[in-house]
Amino acid sequence: MSQDSAPLKQTALNAIHRAQGAKMVDFGGWDMPVQYSGLVEEHHAVRRAVGLFDVSHMGEIDIRGPQALHLVEHISSNWAQKLNIGQIHYSGLLYETGGFVDDILVHKVADDHFFICINAGNQEKDFAHILAHNTFDATVELSSERYTQIAIQGPRALETLQKLTKTRLAEIKYYWFVDGEVTGTPARIARTGYTGEDGFEIYFAPSESARIWRALMVAGEEFGVKPAGLGARNTLRLEAKMALYGHEIDASISPLEADLAWMVKFDKPDFVGRAALASQQDQLTRRLVGFEMTGRGIGRDGYEVQIGGAKAGWVTSGSPSPTLSAAGTPKNIGLCYLPVQNAAVGTEFEILVRNQPVSAVVVPTPFYKRSKG
Amino acid sequence: MYPQNYSYTKEHEWVSVAGDIGTIGITHHAQKELGDIVYVDLPKPGAAITAHATFGSVESVKAVSDIYSPVSGEVLEVNSLLATKPEKLNEDPHGEAWLVRVKLASPNELKGLMTAADYQQYIGE
């Protein structure tokens, strides 16, 4: 991942991460915390109480203008016209081939304003892609530098954040947002996340980053809040079976293959990638499935998947599951691509773990689903 | 933290010698960098291992890392504790969670290793 000579980009919270003892890594050209106290401990803090993530490396694009909706409908596979003001949906930014440019969160701010959250490493590419398709009366702004983004995640996330805002958080539904304030600083408060837990993602001016991060640490102290790194973020999202660009999805993978058909709305007006997906619909050859290791080993990203000794697919993500292992029996889970005829739950197959075939079985997903109170 | 009578490698292993028997492990720094360890793969007794060559691996939640041997020799004993309690490697890497005991083939190899002071300087602690 390291890019020759180009210095790593830093978020406004970089010095705080270092002061909190974080181990830093190069993540898509960003100097980011991979863990603080320990991955498993941070993972459990999010499942059981509350964790804070600096996700300011994520990018933002603002689309405005009389035909903002037309542009969003054209470049995005989900149906933006169905969004209410203040509502959010997950969608695909696709190539004509049906493969992913990126996976995105589309926020409807106003009839003529959409706010799109995109992946860190894809910002320039996404921006260029959208610009290239902008034949509408709309402006496209890459506005990432105007935002710090912090994710507050876990069953105590609401109580933690509520101490710092007058915005009534309980009234924000899942996948909705409010433009409110946090400690008096204007903030976009979205009830979204990448952990499988309840929680919020807040967007605000970078100048206020350190103050708000510290305030959140204090507000969450009574619940046992922990800063959490990219390591825990990865195991949390994997248990919830949320896709990670560059792993489950990329330019060569379509939403239909990635088990994300629900984000493709064939009934809406034409969009980039629609024709390719329509023809792929009835002849899918491979599909993303969840697996659990039945042999001793962990099937990791890039490992070959075999059926009857022949190559049949590849692992996109794999890890011990901290949540499923908490009862005492270690469980190793993952996601992989398999031929559609071998993708049924219960199918047994092998993963080459350092050249040794190790048994695995297709299991239902998500691996973890929170109980809604 | 780092026992004075152990010798250390740049790849973060240690060896402690008594007579012609060497006990090999990974350092506290290594376990901290690896994070939560879930598997330890080691050779069987009787296997020959070579200085600077990989002889096993340690797998954490995050990744797999090779272990390099500080010395050459024949494996006499493997720490069976690690098969069932790999997390011990995070808790006591310089003691209870040693990896293997070997019969040293060339005790001279020890001269090429770092002292505890050198190692601590090397890792910046």
Tens digits of residue pLDDT in A213-264: 999 999 999 999 999 999 999 999 999 999 999 999 999 999 999 999 999 9
* C-beta atoms of A35 and B35 within 8 A: yes
Residue A37's closest chain B neighbor by CA? B35
Domain count of chain B?
A: 1
* C-beta atoms of B62 and A39 within 8 A: yes
- Residue A99: pLDDT band by 50, 70, 90 thresholds? very high
Residue A233's closest chain B neighbor by CA? B62
A225 within 8 A of A20, measured Cβ to Cβ: no
Interface-testing mutation among A43, A298, A303, with chain B (most B C-beta atoms within 10 A): A298
- CA B86 → CA A70, A338, B97, distances in Å? 56, 31, 8
* C-beta atoms of A320 and B38 within 8 A: yes
pLDDT for A373 equals 55
The DSSP result for B52-89, as a single string, is: TSEEEEEEESS-EEEEEBSS-EEEEEE-THHHH-TTHH
Question: What are the backbone dihedrals phi and psi of residue A104, each rounded to the nearest 5 degrees, phi first?
Answer: -135, 160
Interface-testing mutation among B62, B67, B85, with chain A (most A C-beta atoms within 10 A): B62
| B76 located within any domain | yes
The DSSP result for A199-254, as a single string, is: EEEEEE-GGGHHHHHHHHHHHTGGGT-EE--HHHHHHHHHHTT---BTTTBSTT--
Q: Min CA distance, B64 vs chain A (Å)?
A: 9
pLDDT at A4 over 70: no
Q: What is the pLDDT of residues A118-140, one digit of tens each?
A: 999 999 999 999 999 999 999 99
For residue A262, give the 3-state DSSP assignment. Answer: helix
Return the bridge partners of A248, or none. none
- Residue B59 at interface with chain A, using a CB cutoff of 8 Å: yes
Domains of chain A and CATH, by start: 14-56+147-239 (3.30.1360.120), 59-125 (3.30.70.1400), 285-363 (2.40.30.110)
Q: Min CA distance, B12 vs chain A (Å)?
A: 17
Question: Which stretches of chain B score pLDDT less than 70?
Answer: none
Residue A18 CA to residue A20 CA, distance in Å, equals 5
Average pLDDT, chain A: 96
Cβ pairs bridging A and B (under 8 Å): 34
pLDDT for A328 equals 83
Three-state SS for A326-369 is CCCCCCEEEEEEEEHHHCCCCCEEEEEECCEEEEEEEECCCCCC
Whole-prediction pTM value? 0.92
- Residue A5: pLDDT band by 50, 70, 90 thresholds? low
Residue A150 CA to residue B10 CA, distance in Å, equals 38
pLDDT for A329 equals 87
pLDDT for B125 equals 76
> In which domain, by residue range, is B101 found?
7-109
- Nearest CA-CA partner of A357 in A288, A291, A305, A314: A305
* C-beta atoms of A354 and B57 within 8 A: yes
- CA A272 → CA A82, A353, B73, distances in Å? 18, 38, 63
Q: Min CA distance, B73 vs chain A (Å)?
A: 24
- Residue B38 at interface with chain A, using a CB cutoff of 8 Å: yes
pLDDT for A205 equals 98
A59 within 8 A of A120, measured Cβ to Cβ: yes
pLDDT for A1 equals 43
| B117 located within any domain | no
Q: What is the pLDDT of residues A266-277, one digit of tens each?
A: 999 999 999 999
- Residue B62 at interface with chain A, using a CB cutoff of 8 Å: yes
Neighbours of A354 (CB within 10 A): 13
Q: What is the residue whose two structure tokens read 């390099």?
A: B68
pLDDT at A168 over 60: yes
* Cβ-Cβ contacts under 8 Å, A23 against chain B: 33
- Residue B61 at interface with chain A, using a CB cutoff of 8 Å: yes
* C-beta atoms of B62 and A320 within 8 A: no
- Residue A2: pLDDT band by 50, 70, 90 thresholds? very low
Token duo for residue A93? 């930014």
| CATH code at position B103 | 2.40.50.100
* C-beta atoms of B64 and A300 within 8 A: yes
Q: What is the pLDDT of residues A333-342, one digit of tens each?
A: 999 999 999 9
Q: Is the dihedral of CA B27, B29, B32, B34 positive or negative?
A: negative
| B34 located within any domain | yes
- Residue B64 at interface with chain A, using a CB cutoff of 8 Å: yes
